[in-house]
């Protein structure tokens, strides 16, 4: 998959016969997103043109809520890897800035979708809006399509157990600790990925060596202690217990993902790992005595082992 950040860098020789496009934040790549991707790929194959996902960095919600942005379900690399795995040809991800905020709907369609991306088929969700003050609607897109010779395909939302699948619903489930609902809406366990960093080895001194992963998010969608599985290392998925938090017992301030992999002591600094969140165990707490923290860590490890053993059955 080709990453393009500016219209002028698009491969226009590949787009001379048009493209099939879908537009959105695509945060989390949930079940609804997967349906959109399937439709845009199918349209691209039907017309013999490239499939394109158009998104923004930062996301529009992050731009408009700069001081308190919503928690990201995926950081940029995770989104890129997920779209690539689904078979998208081009990931067009321009910067969302004041100029993009103020672009009129007709200008967005003509300058970006037609002249830039050579749209022939556009796939959107049923809540799609775009351009300045969200003035662009699906009906607006369809009217322009009749004049500019592109088709618009609207894909209905998906409901799971009476809940509309959305990134917002997933954030709410994760924050409340309802990992089962989040898994159902995503179609898979919630995952955080990242490179293992060299830490201060506090966990090792307490008998619980951890793989420390920089969150690279302004806000995390999850906080607390979790039963998790770790992928990306030799030998397949490994059971583990993880903490996402600031380590208040040691007066920490920056959120960090720390993962203790059971029965594993290999050197993995610099490795890129994937952490799948299976069940939330408890809130992060501050302990006055380190011995009390260690005793709780023993209980957390035992609980996580039991949960993961049951989950694997």
Question: What pLDDT sits at residue 49?
Answer: 98
Residue 308 — very low, low, confident or very high, per pLDDT cuts 50/70/90? Answer: very high
Q: What Å distances lie between residue 223 and 226, 245, 263, CA to CA?
A: 9, 6, 24
Please check whether residue 179 lies inside any domain of the structure.
Answer: no
Neighbouring C-beta atoms of residue 164, cutoff 10 Å: 14
State percent of the chain over pLDDT 90: 80
Domain containing residue 156: 2-160
Question: What pLDDT sits at residue 69?
Answer: 87
| Domain co-membership, 28 together with 125 | yes
Mean pLDDT of 60-68: 89
Q: pTM value?
A: 0.93
**Domain edge (last residue) among 140, 160, 180:** 160
Tell me how far apart the 2 most distant CA atoms of the chain are, in Å: 72
Cα–Cα distance for residue pair 26/22, rounded to 1 Å: 10
pLDDT value at 209 more than 60: yes
Number of domains in the chain: 2
pLDDT tens-place string over residues 252-298: 667 889 999 999 988 889 999 999 999 999 998 888 888 888 899 99
Question: What pLDDT sits at residue 237?
Answer: 93
Cα–Cα distance for residue pair 140/277, rounded to 1 Å: 40
Q: What Å distances lie between residue 159 and 32, 275, 286, CA to CA?
A: 9, 26, 39
Task: List the beta bridge partners of residue 124.
Answer: 154
pLDDT tens-place string over residues 90-112: 999 999 999 999 999 999 999 99
Mean pLDDT of 215-226: 89
Question: What pLDDT sits at residue 249?
Answer: 66
Question: What pLDDT sits at residue 251?
Answer: 63
**What CATH number is given to the structural domain containing 149?**
3.40.50.620
Please check whether residue 184 lies inside any domain of the structure.
Answer: no
| Domain co-membership, 147 together with 17 | yes
Compute the residue count for the chain: 313
**Helix boundaries (H) for the chain:** 31-47, 60-64, 76-86, 98-101, 105-107, 138-148, 167-175, 179-186, 202-205, 290-312
State percent of the chain over pLDDT 70: 96
Residue 312 — very low, low, confident or very high, per pLDDT cuts 50/70/90? Answer: confident
| Domain co-membership, 146 together with 90 | yes
Taken in order 294, 208, 213, 198, the sign of the CA dihedral is positive
Please check whether residue 205 lies inside any domain of the structure.
Answer: yes
Going by the DSSP 8-state scheme, the letter that residue 197 receives in this structure is E
Question: What pLDDT sits at residue 203?
Answer: 66
Question: What pLDDT sits at residue 92?
Answer: 98
**Domain edge (last residue) among 139, 160, 181:** 160
Neighbouring C-beta atoms of residue 288, cutoff 10 Å: 8
Question: What pLDDT sits at residue 313?
Answer: 54
| Domain co-membership, 23 together with 132 | yes
For residues 165 and 8, is the Cβ–Cβ distance under 8 A?
no
Average pLDDT over all residues of the chain:
93
Sheet holding 119-125, edge to edge: 2-4, 90-92, 51-54, 19-23, 119-125, 151-155
pLDDT value at 133 more than 70: yes
Mean pLDDT of 54-62: 94
| Domain co-membership, 225 together with 78 | no
Please check whether residue 182 lies inside any domain of the structure.
Answer: no
Please check whether residue 180 lies inside any domain of the structure.
Answer: no
| Domain co-membership, 241 together with 146 | no
Task: List the beta bridge partners of residue 160.
Answer: 163
Q: Which residues of 69-78 are buried (b: 16+ CB within 10 A; e: fewer)?
A: bbbbbbbeeb
pLDDT value at 218 more than 80: no
Mean pLDDT of 41-68: 94
Mean pLDDT of 29-44: 97
Please check whether residue 301 lies inside any domain of the structure.
Answer: yes
Cα–Cα distance for residue pair 136/109, rounded to 1 Å: 9
**Torsion angle, alpha carbons of 191, 197, 198, 201, to 10:** -10
């Amino acid at each position: 998959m080709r990453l393009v950040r500016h219209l002028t860098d698009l491969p226009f020789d590949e787009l001379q016969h048009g493209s099939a496009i879908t537009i959105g934040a695509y945060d989390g790549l949930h079940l609804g997103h997967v349906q959109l991707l399937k439709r845009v790929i199918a349209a691209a194959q039907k017309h013999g043109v490239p499939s394109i996902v158009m998104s923004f960095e930062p996301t529009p919600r992050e731009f408009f809520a700069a001081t308190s942005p919503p928690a990201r379900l995926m950081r940029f690399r995770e989104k890129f890897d997920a779209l690539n795995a689904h078979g998208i040809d081009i990931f067009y991800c321009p910067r969302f800035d004041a100029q993009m905020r103020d672009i009129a709907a007709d200008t967005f369609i003509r300058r970006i979708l037609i002249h830039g991306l050579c749209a022939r088929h556009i796939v959107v969700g049923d809540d799609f809006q775009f351009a300045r003050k969200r003035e662009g609607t699906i009906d607006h897109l369809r009217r322009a399509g009749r004049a500019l010779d592109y088709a618009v395909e609207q894909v209905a939302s998906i409901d799971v157990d009476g809940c509309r699948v959305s990134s917002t619903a997933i954030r709410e489930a994760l924050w409340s600790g309802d990992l089962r609902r989040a898994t159902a809406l995503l179609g898979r366990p919630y995952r955080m990925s990242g490179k293992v960093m060299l830490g201060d080895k506090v966990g090792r001194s307490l008998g619980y060596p951890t793989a420390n992963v920089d969150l690279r998010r302004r806000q995390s969608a999850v906080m607390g202690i979790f039963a998790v599985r770790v992928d990306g290392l030799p030998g397949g998925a490994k059971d583990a217990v993880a903490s996402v938090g600031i380590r208040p017992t040691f007066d920490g301030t920056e959120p960090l993902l720390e993962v203790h992999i059971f029965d594993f002591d290999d050197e993995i600094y610099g490795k890129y790992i994937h952490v799948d969140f299976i069940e939330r165990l408890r809130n992060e707490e501050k302990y006055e005595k380190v011995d009390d923290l260690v005793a709780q860590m023993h209980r957390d490890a035992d609980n996580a082992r039991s949960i993961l053993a049951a989950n694997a059955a």
